[in-house]
Amino acid sequence: FEFSCFLMDSVPSVEIDANGVFKYILIELSDGTSSKTIVRGYASEEYHADIYARVKPSLDALGLKSEVPGGGRIQHEASKKTILVYGYSQGFGRADHATTVALLSEAFPGYKISFSNTGY
């Protein structure tokens, strides 16, 4: 049990590009005992599914089950210390943006982080 918790803790809660507008997904992780939600967003990936394809192998290697409850877009303006979460994924549906904002707020203290359920 302790070992699996360590594995889950070894996965960063947030991994997004340092600046720009890009797609993101929420990923729900489970090791059979506990669960964790993480955020991943990269401008280099054209589709939400591409983000999952990039991240899933490393999660599988840790023995973690993963699924994507939804996605959207992130507008990250590092110079202004602002992040806007909005939109949805055509393939996975709309992520719970409030959950995303909560996770981003922990990773980016001092930022103004908000979300909108409008837009694509």
The set of catalytic residues is: 48
Cα→Cα distances 66→54, 57, 75, 86, Å: 13, 10, 25, 22
What would the two tokens of residue 35 be? 């669960």
What would the two tokens of residue 90 be? 């055509």
Cα separation of the two ends of the chain = 41
Name the helix (H) or strand (E) containing 116.
strand 112-116
